[in-house]
Amino acid sequence: MMLTIGKLGREVGVKVPTIRYYENICLLPEAERSAGNQRLYPKTALDRLAFIRHARELGFPLGAIRDLLSLADRPDQSCAAVDSIARGQLEATRARLRNLRGLEAELERMLDQCACGTVSDCRVIEALGKQPHVLLHAME
Amino acid sequence: MMLTIGKLGREVGVKVPTIRYYENICLLPEAERSAGNQRLYPKTALDRLAFIRHARELGFPLGAIRDLLSLADRPDQSCAAVDSIARGQLEATRARLRNLRGLEAELERMLDQCACGTVSDCRVIEALGKQPHVLLHAME
DNA sequence: CTAATCTCTCTAGTGACTAGAGGTTCAAGG
DNA sequence: CCTTGAACCTCTAGTCACTAGAGAGATTAG
């Protein structure tokens, strides 16, 4: 009927300390306790934790997930706020992609030019010493 | 002849506390000091800091940059080690790209399906509750 | 009953900075 | 020479999302 923290973590694929951490920062409600003070979770905890896990995998920061969860708890409201969080995440993802594509190109260029001799004529070292070709604002 | 920390930072585009941080973790050598205990840098510090900055922009972690710098200081050795660090970085970049492309696709799919009604029939919330389509190992 | 496995709390560490407090030094203008 | 304001100093703590480890108690299988 009730799940221990280890079982919950195994089912959902989240490590035990991470679940405790989520409880600490109030992303998960405080669990009930057994007679011996161990956490016991109802089946519904599976869904909530899976939701968090999936959102994390999509790159949502915990703050955004907190917002999404509290929206999900009010099913009668408009989902415009949900959409806007997701759209923000999509935008952030695209920005990171643009960034990384630039990096990939520059790294490829650097490595292509390297004749692999001694460090003194290494193109990689030389390229790193020069002003960057790619200007980035957020590395993340 | 010598540069203050502020001037150095402005020239290279690195914030002053970041330079001090780099000195703290021994990525930069300890700077000389003025009579009044302020850091003074020779012109060569411009190159070294620019190197660090550029490598950071390419996503190299500071540990890798430390290795690159110590390699760069031994110009007679083979640059194979340099190459392998750079190749590792290229691989990491490509892995992140694959990851992010998957995320982008899933976020797009989620948003496309959203009819934007109430939260109770929101596809985004629903999609997040389901098992993930994309399995990721490292989010970074 | 015992041994193995889980679980508990708590603290501290990761990476790469950033922010802030509270104080000192420097360069320019009057 | 004096003052003002910017730039500098050190140090601590905070960020994010965990992860690792210590040392102790709980539970379960044989």
ipTM for the predicted complex: 0.73
- CA dist B108 and B78 (Å) reads 47
| pLDDT of B138 | 33
Distance of A135 CA from C14 C1′ (whole Å): 27
Q: What is the overall mean pLDDT for chain B? A: 84
**Residue of A138 and A56 predicted with greater confidence:** A56
| pLDDT of B86 | 86
| pLDDT of A136 | 39
The answer to whether the beta carbons of residues B88 and A48 sit under 8 Å apart is no
Polymer length in residues for chain B: 140
CA distance A60 to chain B (A): 10
Structural domain boundaries in chain B: 3-72, 80-129
Distance set, CA A105 to CA A23, A32, A134, B46 (Å): 42, 52, 10, 25
| Tokens found for residue B33 | 């000091």
Establish how many alpha carbons lie within 13 A of residue B87's alpha carbon, considering only the half-sphere containing its beta carbon: 10
Asked if B125 and A82 come within 8 Å (Cβ–Cβ), the reply is yes
CA distance A13 to chain B (A): 11
Three-state DSSP at B137 gives coil
Distance set, CA A140 to CA A78, A82, B112 (Å): 32, 24, 27
- CA dist B85 and A129 (Å) reads 16
In sequence order, the 6+-apart residues with CB closer than 8 A to the CB of A118 are: B75, B76, B77, B78, B79
Q: How many CB pairs under 8 A join A and B?
A: 179
Asked if B54 and A103 come within 8 Å (Cβ–Cβ), the reply is no
CATH 3.40.50.970, applies to A3-72: no
**Residue of B102 and A3 predicted with greater confidence:** A3
- By C1' distance from the Cα of B37, the closest nucleotide is D9
Confirm whether any atom of chain D, the nucleic acid strand, is less than 7 Å from CB of A17.
Answer: yes
The most distant pair of C-alpha atoms in chain B lies apart, rounded to whole Å, by 69
Say if residue B6's pLDDT is above 90: yes
Say if residue B16's pLDDT is above 60: yes
In sequence order, the 6+-apart residues with CB closer than 8 A to the CB of B138 are: B95, B96, B99
User: Does B128 contact chain A (CB < 8 Å)?
Assistant: yes
